[in-house]
């Protein structure tokens, strides 16, 4: 097979083998990967821009290491896409917002530095909802992303471009960000694997802030083993992010083969409110596979689940209103022209630079933090957050992992939910609980609906038990029909 034909099917393992056997060089691979991605991208709009110079220079350094007989790194030559809310030195980073349309960061995010050090080749930056606010990728200032499985449908959001690129084969793996489901839900909608680690497992340094207590960098890949490798590369303590945890990083790839017999699994009743839906059925079929592998499955209850959407949309908007205050036309690129006074300049810049969803969240967030409303909304939501986290703590006393749907339904049509923000928010019901509790979670493909749309099964484990979660996902992936 020629290299060009192989591109959409490459894995981290197959690239390593090809490089070591000298079937191709990293430079040849990068050239082909860029050509393929640039040609295919108009079908989905997954990438906002490419960075060929940076990619080819990374590839050259892998080839030089190989020529010297040095270890080229875990991700040597692997074409990677990075969500455009993660900063890249010298490469435009827009957060899919007009506000940052021309922003060229002077530094790399820590996760990006880790990719570089592991020999990865960043091809470009992926589209998303503006400042990662959304569930369909329709809030991008640069046009929506189309789902590669069905171009009339959304890829999910906010990391829609990162999931679509991997599903389409224009990246082997990608980085996304997840504040309330933005890695898991698009992975589920596009039929790929998406993992959000424990809060603190991966540095947020260089991740453009949306809601700092909820923001995570996560990973997308076409299989569980590539997911484990990518997580391995980016996990760990970082002095530049005080919320990153000084917890040792285990060998995730080694953990994959551990076996799952005897593992205790909980099915939270509140996540299967509609057991007859196609989505629930596919997830429950997946649970049967795990039973066959010797997992002990039981139903459990997580009683505060129903309050999660309300609490999340208060906390995330409050934090967003504060984080987005910095975009005032003074420091970050976009500035409205022709304002008479400084106050006008602020107003006009924010009025013109932010899209509708960002404005909605800034207003909502400012309201819930304001004097007189703080106790009724923000403080109450924080208390609910504690109760939701406690549901997880109690569940994990009884079981090792939880299984749930990722989303109540598969990918919906472009435009279908745009007029009703409330419906859009409610669709996050199964993903935001884990975000509020900070536990690791992932979506693994578990089948397709009668209409051919992918559905993901969500796996959640205890804080810092990404290894157990990946082991379960790997066993599932290898044994599902
Ligand atoms: N859909 C959720 C929201 O709109 C989650 C977004 C995210 O995880 N970044 O806030």
Q: Could you tell me the distance, in angstroms and rounded to a whole number, from the CA of residue 158 to the centre of ligand 1?
A: 6
Cβ neighbour number for residue 337 with a 10 Å cutoff: 9
Please give the pLDDT value at position 280.
97
Tell which atom from ligand 1 comes closest to the C-alpha of 179.
Answer: 8
Helix 12-20 vs helix 26-40: crossing angle, to nearest 10: 140
Distance (Å, whole) CA 479 – CA 390: 33
Ligand 1, residues at Cβ distance < 6 Å: 132-135, 158, 178-182, 210, 316, 428
Please give the pLDDT value at position 58.
98
The DSSP annotation for 368-410 comes to HHSTTTTIIIIIHHHHHHHHHHHHHHHHHHH-SEEEEESSSSS
Helix (H) or strand (E) holding 185: helix 184-190
Q: Which two tokens stand for residue 437?
A: 């509790």
135 included as an active-site residue: no
Tell which atom from ligand 1 comes closest to the C-alpha of 133.
Answer: 4
Please give the pLDDT value at position 422.
87
Strand locations in 228-276 (E): 264-268
225 included as an active-site residue: no
Cβ neighbour number for residue 38 with a 10 Å cutoff: 15
Q: Which two tokens stand for residue 173?
A: 């793996």
Please give the pLDDT value at position 3.
86
Q: Which two tokens stand for residue 251?
A: 């060998």
Q: Are 330 and 348 in contact (CB under 8 A)?
A: no
CA-CA-CA-CA torsion sign (265, 271, 275, 280): negative
Q: Could you tell me the distance, in angstroms and rounded to a whole number, from the CA of residue 134 to the centre of ligand 1?
A: 5
| Residue with token string 């390593």 | 16
Distance (Å, whole) CA 45 – CA 160: 10
Please, what are the averages of pLDDT over each run of 10 residues along the chain (481 residues)?
87 96 97 98 98 98 97 97 98 98 97 98 98 98 98 98 98 98 98 98 98 98 98 98 97 95 98 94 98 98 97 98 96 89 96 97 97 95 98 98 97 94 91 98 98 98 98 97 70
Distance (Å, whole) CA 305 – CA 282: 21
- What pTM was computed for the model? 0.98
Q: Are 430 and 263 in contact (CB under 8 A)?
A: no
CATH fourth-level superfamily of 3-255? Amidase signature (AS) domain (3.90.1300.10)
Burial 148-187 (b: 16+ CB within 10 A, else e): bbbeebbbbbbbbbbbbbbbbbbbbbbbbbbbbbbbbbbb
14 included as an active-site residue: no
Sorted by where each begins, the domain ranges of the chain are: 3-255
Please give the pLDDT value at position 333.
83
Q: Which two tokens stand for residue 63?
A: 């080839």
Please give the pLDDT value at position 5.
82
Strand locations in 43-148 (E): 47-50, 79-83, 121-126
Q: Could you tell me the distance, in angstroms and rounded to a whole number, from the CA of residue 183 to the centre of ligand 1?
A: 9
Distance (Å, whole) CA 242 – CA 259: 35
Please give the pLDDT value at position 230.
98
Cα-to-chain-centroid distance, residue 11: 19
Work out the end-to-end distance of the chain between its first and last CA atoms, rounded to an integer number of angstroms. 28
């Amino acid at each position: 097979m020629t290299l060009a034909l192989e591109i959409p099917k490459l894995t981290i393992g197959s690239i390593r083998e090809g490089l070591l056997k000298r079937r191709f060089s990293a430079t040849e691979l990068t050239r082909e990967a860029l050509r393929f991605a640039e040609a295919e991208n108009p079908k989905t709009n997954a990438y906002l821009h490419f960075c060929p110079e940076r990619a080819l220079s990374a590839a050259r350094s892998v080839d030089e290491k190989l020529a010297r007989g040095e270890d080229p790194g875990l991700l040597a030559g692997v074409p990677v896409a990075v969500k455009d809310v993660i900063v890249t030195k010298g490469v435009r980073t827009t957060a899919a917002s007009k506000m940052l349309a021309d922003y060229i960061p002077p530094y790399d995010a820590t996760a990006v530095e880790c990719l570089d050090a592991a020999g990865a080749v960043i091809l470009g930056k992926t589209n998303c909802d503006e400042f990662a606010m959304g569930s369909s990728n329709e809030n991008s200032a640069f046009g929506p992303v189309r789902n590669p499985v069905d171009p009339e449908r959304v890829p999910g959001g906010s990391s829609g471009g990162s999931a679509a690129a991997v599903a389409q084969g224009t990246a082997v793996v990608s980085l996304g960000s997840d504040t309330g489901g933005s890695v898991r839900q698009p992975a589920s909608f596009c039929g790929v694997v998406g993992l959000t680690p424990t809060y603190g497992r991966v540095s947020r340094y260089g991740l453009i802030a949306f809601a700092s207590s909820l923001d995570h960098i996560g990973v997308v890949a076409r299989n569980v083993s590539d997911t484990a490798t990518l997580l391995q590369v980016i996990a760990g303590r970082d002095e530049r992010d005080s919320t990153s945890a000084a917890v040792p990083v285990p060998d995730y790839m080694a953990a994959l083969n551990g076996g799952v017999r005897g593992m205790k699994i909980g099915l939270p009743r509140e996540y299967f409110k509609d057991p007859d839906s196609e989505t629930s059925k596919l997830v429950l079929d997946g649970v049967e596979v795990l039973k066959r592998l010797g997992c002990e499955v039981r139903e459990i209850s997580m009683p505060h689940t129903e309050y999660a959407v309300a609490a999340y949309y208060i906390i995330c908007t409050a934090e967003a209103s504060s984080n987005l205050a910095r975009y005032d036309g003074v420091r970050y690129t976009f500035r409205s022209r022709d304002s008479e006074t400084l106050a006008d300049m602020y107003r006009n810049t924010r009025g013109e630079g932010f899209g509708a969803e960002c404005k909605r969240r800034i207003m909502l967030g400012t309201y819930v933090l304001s004097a007189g409303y703080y106790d009724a909304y923000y403080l109450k939501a924080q208390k609910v957050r504690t109760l939701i986290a406690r549901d997880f703590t109690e569940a994990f006393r009884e079981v090792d992992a939880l299984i749930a749907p990722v989303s109540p339904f598969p990918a919906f049509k472009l435009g279908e939910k745009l007029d009703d923000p409330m419906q859009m928010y409610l669709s996050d019901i199964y993903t935001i609980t884990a975000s509020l509790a900070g536990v690791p979670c992932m979506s693994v493909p578990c089948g397709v609906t009668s209409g051919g749309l992918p559905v993901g099964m969500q796996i959640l484990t205890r804080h810092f038990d990404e290894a157990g979660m990946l082991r379960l996902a790997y066993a599932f992936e290898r044994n599902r029909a």
